[in-house]
């Protein structure tokens, strides 16, 4: 029998493929992405990860069992000690001070995405929160798998280092755990579907905003 996550993956294949083939992603893995766009992305994503960590901690507080709380906190811990620590090193290599990162206002798309996740965190349940976080974690793994062949000709060391995080066994295990949590959800797929899809759309918009180096119009 097809799992919830397998069904969502097939159902929203068109959106998924647009993410995997976005110019930002392709150029990043190929080594052709202008460094200004990558710096812009790194700052925005670091701020996004701060928000995600808080939402995962909130999910833990709503968990139906201690084991589910542990899994949510493990994801939060992985974000803080894995992705964010790597970002701090990355920002240093890019010559960007953390104080500057904290002082930069998230762009409109980033703000909307974080507000959406905050709403889900406060207004829904543990299962819906996890389903809403899944598109972010899962697409990054899939992006890495789809585009890893491009790394062979990528001469930009900092890009290769960033991409390798999402090809690691540790990251794949986190995604596997998150998918298993969503797959065992007692909440019907039809109720999780709109949250998953909205988050998936925001993932595409996040890449696109970074590629355009989106700014507030006023």
Digit-coded pLDDT (tens) for 128-174: 999 999 999 999 999 999 999 999 999 999 999 999 989 999 889 99
pLDDT at 21: 96
Q: What is the pLDDT of residue 84?
A: 75
Other beta carbons within 10 Å of 102:
11
Distance CA 139, CA 206 (A): 12
In this prediction, residue 90 has a pLDDT band, given cuts at 50, 70 and 90, of confident
Instruction: For residue 33, count CB atoms less than 10 angstroms from its CB and return exposed for 0-12, middle for 13-18, buried for 19 or more.
Output: buried
Whether the pLDDT of residue 190 is over 80: the answer is yes
CB under 8 Å to 188, separation ≥6 — which residues? none
Tokens for 19, please give them. 């993410």
Task: Tell me the C-alpha distance between 25 and 205, whole Å.
Answer: 12
Domains and CATH numbers, the chain: 9-209 (1.20.910.10)
pTM of the predicted model as reported, rounded to 2 decimal places: 0.95
Rg (CA), the chain: 17
Model pLDDT for residues 161-183, shown as the tens digit of each residue = 999 989 999 889 999 999 999 99
């Amino acid at each position: 029998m097809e799992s919830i996550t397998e069904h969502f993956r097939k159902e929203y294949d068109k959106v998924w493929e647009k993410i995997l083939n976005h110019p930002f992603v392709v150029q990043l893995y190929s080594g052709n992405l202008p460094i200004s766009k990558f710096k812009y992305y790194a700052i925005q994503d670091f701020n996004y990860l701060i928000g995600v960590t808080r939402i995962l901690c909130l999910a833990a507080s709503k968990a139906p069992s201690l084991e589910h709380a542990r899994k949510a906190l493990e994801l939060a811990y992985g974000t803080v000690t894995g992705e964010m620590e790597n970002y701090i090193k990355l920002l240093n290599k890019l010559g960007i001070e953390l104080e500057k990162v904290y002082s930069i206002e998230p762009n409109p798309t980033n703000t909307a995405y974080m507000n959406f996740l905050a709403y889900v965190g406060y207004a829904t349940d543990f299962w819906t929160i996890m389903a809403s976080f899944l598109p972010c974690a899962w697409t990054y793994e899939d992006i890495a798998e789809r585009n890893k062949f491009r790394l062979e000709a990528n001469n930009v060391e900092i890009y290769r280092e960033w991409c390798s995080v999402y090809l690691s066994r540790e990251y794949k295990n986190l995604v596997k755990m998150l998918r298993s949590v969503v797959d065992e959800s007692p909440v019907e797929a039809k109720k999780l579907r709109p949250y998953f899809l909205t988050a998936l759309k925001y993932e595409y918009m996040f890449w696109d905003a970074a590629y355009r180096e989106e700014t507030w119009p006023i």
